[in-house]
Copies of this chain bind each other. A is one copy, B any other.
Amino acid sequence: MQIGEVAGRTGLSLRTLRHWDNVGLVKPSARSSGGFRLFSEADVARIQVIKTMKPLALSLEEMREVLELVESASDPTAATRERALRVDYYRDRTRSCISRLERHLAYSIDLLEMLDAQAPSVSPDTSY
């Protein structure tokens, strides 16, 4: 699968996919003889997971680590104390992210009410 189709399916830009490749976040599993990036279904799945991680506001590098931790989950040799601590770290960040999102959601609802109070909505079907 070439980059265009991946972009279409994931809703990401070509630029973003290339950038993620460059920084090592999602490397296409192959290249054509001419140099075209070739993505597998697994690559696309990884991209989708990354999309769901967006709200965590981690750096691309941190996302890379989280994926590494998750993907090495079934590897018993990787079950070190160090690894457990890293997982704990990201668990904490995820938790505080959730609190943040809840606050932000409440704020946004308040702001919406403020805007509703501003003007009695120009009805969409007559807008213009």
Q: Please list the residues of chain A having a beta carbon within 8 angstroms of any beta carbon in chain B.
A: 52-56, 69-70, 73, 79, 81, 83-85, 87-88, 90-91, 94-95, 97-98, 101-102, 104-105, 107-112, 114-116, 118-119, 121-122, 124, 127
Minimum C-beta distance from A110 to chain B (A): 7
CB neighbours of A104 from chain B (8 A): 54-55, 101
Question: Which of B84, B98, B108 is in CB contact (< 8 Å) with A119?
Answer: B84
| Distance in angstroms between the alpha carbons of A127 and B82 in the assembled complex | 10
| Distance in angstroms between the alpha carbons of A102 and B73 in the assembled complex | 29
Closest to A124 in B: B88
Copies in the complex: 2
Minimum C-beta distance from A128 to chain B (A): 8
| Distance in angstroms between the alpha carbons of A116 and B73 in the assembled complex | 12
CB neighbours of A97 from chain B (8 A): 108
CB neighbours of A95 from chain B (8 A): 112
